[in-house]
Amino acid sequence: MTVKIRLLSVVSAFMMLLSPITLLAQFKWVEVGVDGLTCSQCSRSVEMSIRKLDFVQDVEMNLEHTRGKITFKPLAKVSVEKISQAVVNAGFSVRYLQAGFNFENLAINKNYCFPFEGKQYQFIQTENKILNGEVLIKFVGKKYQSAKEYKHWKSDLIPACDKLKGEILYVTL
Amino acid sequence: MKRCACLIISFLYLRNLSGQELFPLNEPASNVPKNAIGLRLFNQSYGEGKTIRGLDALRVMYGVLPRLTIMATASMSNHHGSDFPANLATHTHNGTQTVYSTGGYVVGIPYPYRFNGISFYAKYRFVSVDGQNKHFRMAAYGGYSYLNVAHDEAEPNLLDDTKGYGGGLITTYLKNKFAVSLTSGVIIPQNHKGSIPDPAGTGPVPTEVKYGRAVEYNLSFGYLVFPRKYENYNQTNWSLYLEFMGKTYEKAKITQFGFKDIPVSTPLLQQGNYIDVCPGIQAIIRSNLRIDLSVKFPMINKSYAHFYPVYSIAIQRYFFTKK
């Protein structure tokens, strides 16, 4: 009995150690701004292209502001890269891509890295902060921003995470 | 002419208010979404004397890549017979000399509907400058028409009349509800080897027509009239279009009994150039089912490959595959 309790304690302690990096972050939704479209048929093409992704639960397009809000299937592995590619596949470009991300007391600083679902997320241009609850994070990079915006951020994309642990995705608040 | 100028000015004025690039007659530089299949069924018809000439076609489109679209169009029409008309070219004998000549053209000869063949087309978008509610795009296109039609005019038309190659560039600019697109390209037709009935009744006379090479220049304007403000996919989108379809082509060369380049007297076979003006209207229902209507009138000179006005109607929709 005592051995069992000890074993449980060890497992829980181990889980607690892992939790800030594996369990305390989760996508709630993604919003993608789409450039190059003005018609509802084009907007629908984008929606249909995103809906093909197996982790997508629902897509709600805002035709007037040419953006789409995407929600996900429970426990599904989300790929922002695939969302960006889906927009391109429909024949358009990504203006911005941002996400509602759930954190639990994650203390970040400049160039803070955390692994999530096989990728390394690196914060850029952020100050020391504790992230708790749903936080809006913006993806930075050629695939996630308009050409003009990317130009502005390009010089900040200096890898600080261990590339060997996975592809780096740059995010900011 | 004055009326056309007014229409152009009206369109240019409207651009400030806010177009569509889904032109009824011209292809824009944009593509079919990757892995989506588009189907377009269309009809073009015009009166020629007491005969109604018609063309019915089915086009299948596919988005191979985000930037690459391929299309195949199968068509049938009653534009031409299986042979060239009897008066296309004839000859008389003057002593030992044979004098060849072309005849005039007869209006409204009734022909049955025939399957013309299939046209293939590919378009690759190589420039995309996208912004919010706007884009500037350029695409290169090329095509080949595998047709077997006894077309008896110098002007080549790859869709339904003339076997051959074509290619060119498309430049499209779209901002808010206004779109403008310029298509410029060349047509390199292939000869048609056919025959004409021999009036002497000695059997068909083998005849070969080399059609004129052509340069095309088409300019299209589009403007989205409704909805003024997008709310949902169920709003029917109404757009107005004004397209200018221009072509310059060489004269045709006819060969009979080894005699090449029979002197042509009919304007049908001579070199020419023209610009047609084509106002159109389009409804897109539930953001997918597209219905196009347009009418073609002569503006500068005229085409001898068809009479006026030419009425076009098309219905099109996309099917999104699971891939």
Whole-angstrom CA distances from B247 to B4, B216, B266 are 18, 4, 19
Residue B7 to residues B17, B176, B178, B240, B244, Cα–Cα distance (Å): 16, 20, 14, 11, 12
Could you tell me if residue A17 is inside a domain? no
Is a pLDDT exceeding 50 seen at residue B8?
A: no
The helix, strand and coil proportions of chain A, stated in percent and rounded to the nearest 5, come to: 30, 40, 30
Q: How many CB pairs under 8 A join A and B?
A: 92
Strands (E) located in B132-177? 134-147, 164-175
Asked if the model's pLDDT at residue A127 lies above 50, the reply is: yes
- The answer, yes or no, to whether residue B320 has pLDDT greater than 70, is yes
pLDDT of residue B196: 86
Whether residues A64 and B231 touch (CB distance < 8 A) is answered with yes
Residues B190-236 have pLDDT tens digits of 999 998 887 666 778 889 999 999 999 999 999 999 888 888 888 99
Lowest mean pLDDT among A7-16, A94-103, B79-88, B285-294: A7-16
Number of domains in chain A: 1
Q: Given CB atoms, is A102 within the 8 Å cutoff of chain B? A: no
Task: Return the ∠ at Cα B262 (arms to B88 and B86), rounded to 5°.
Answer: 15
**What confidence category does residue B2 fall into, taking pLDDT thresholds of 50, 70 and 90?**
low
Reported as a pLDDT band with limits 50, 70 and 90, residue A4 is low
Residue B239: both structure tokens together: 């757009």
Would an 8 Å CB–CB cutoff place A39 in contact with chain B? Answer: yes
**Are A56 and A74 within 8 A, CB to CB?**
no
**Which residue range(s) make up the domain with A164?**
24-172
- Evaluate the CA torsion angle A73, A77, A80, A85 in order and state its sign: negative
Q: List the domain boundaries for chain B.
A: 2-320
Cis previous bond, A74, omega within 30: no
Report the CATH number at residue A60. Answer: 3.30.70.100
Assess A45–B contact: CB distance below 8 Å, yes or no: yes
What band does B262 get if pLDDT is binned at 50, 70 and 90? confident
Supply the pLDDT for residue B16.
Answer: 35
Please report the pLDDT score of residue B266 as a whole number.
86
Which one has a higher pLDDT value, B262 or B314? B314
Phi, psi dihedral angles at B315 (to 5 degrees): -130, 135
pLDDT band for position B289 (cuts 50, 70, 90): very high
- How confident is the model over B83-103, as a mean pLDDT? 79
- Given a cut of 80, whether residue B89 has pLDDT beyond it is no
Residue A16 lies in a domain: no
Q: Are strands B178-189 and B164-175 parallel, antiparallel or unpaired?
A: antiparallel
pLDDT at A120 over 50: yes
A88 touches chain B (CB under 8 A): yes
Give CA–CA dist B110/A131, Å, rounded: 79
Return mean pLDDT, chain B.
89
> For A81-102, what is each residue's pLDDT tens digit?
999 999 999 999 999 999 998 8
- ipTM of the complex, rounded to two decimals: 0.80
Indicate which of A38, A59, A62 best probes the interface with B, i.e. most B CBs within 10 Å of its own CB. Answer: A38
> Does the B2-320 domain belong in CATH 2.40.160.40?
yes
- With CA atoms as reference, the chain A residue closest to B18 would be A38
- Mean pLDDT, range B132-137, rounded to an integer: 92
| pLDDT computed for residue B14 by the predictor | 39
Q: What is the pLDDT of residues B31-54, one digit of tens each?
A: 999 999 999 999 999 999 999 999
Partners of B287 on chain A (C-beta within 8 Å) are 40-41, 43-44
DSSP three-state, residue A131:
strand
- Please report the DSSP string for B94-142 in residue order: ETTEEEEEE----TT-----EEEEEEEEEEEEEEEEEETTEEEEEEEEE
Of A130-139, A142-151, B252-261, B282-291, least confident by mean pLDDT is B252-261
With respect to residue A128, please indicate whether it lies within any of the assigned structural domains.
yes
* Separation of alpha carbons B151 and B131, rounded Å: 45
Average pLDDT over all residues of chain A = 84
Is there a domain that residue A88 lies in? Answer: yes
Q: Considering the domain boundaries, does residue A4 fall inside one?
A: no
pLDDT given for residue B25 in this prediction: 96
Q: Is the peptide bond before B309 cis (omega within 30 degrees of 0)?
A: yes
Q: A37 — contact with chain B (CB < 8 Å)?
A: yes
Domain assignment present for A19: no
Say if residue B304's pLDDT is above 60: yes
Q: What is the pLDDT of residue B73?
A: 97
For residue A10, tell me if it sits in a domain. Answer: no
Three-state DSSP class for A157?
coil
Place A163 in a pLDDT band, splitting at 50, 70 and 90. confident
**Chain B interface, mutation test: which of A32, A37, A41, most B Cβ atoms within 10 Å?**
A41
CB of A54 within 8 Å of a chain B CB? The answer is no
pLDDT in tens, B13-33: 433 333 478 999 999 999 999
pTM: 0.86
H and E: helices and strands count for chain A = 4, 8
Cα(B25)–Cα(B241) distance, integer angstroms: 10
Residue A16 has pLDDT above 50, yes or no: no
Average pLDDT for A99-124: 88
Centre a 10 Å sphere on the Cβ of residue B50 and count the other Cβ atoms it contains. 8
Does A17 or A39 have the greater pLDDT score? A39
Q: Which residues does chain B have within 8 Å of residue A43's beta carbon, measured at their own beta carbons?
A: 230, 233, 287
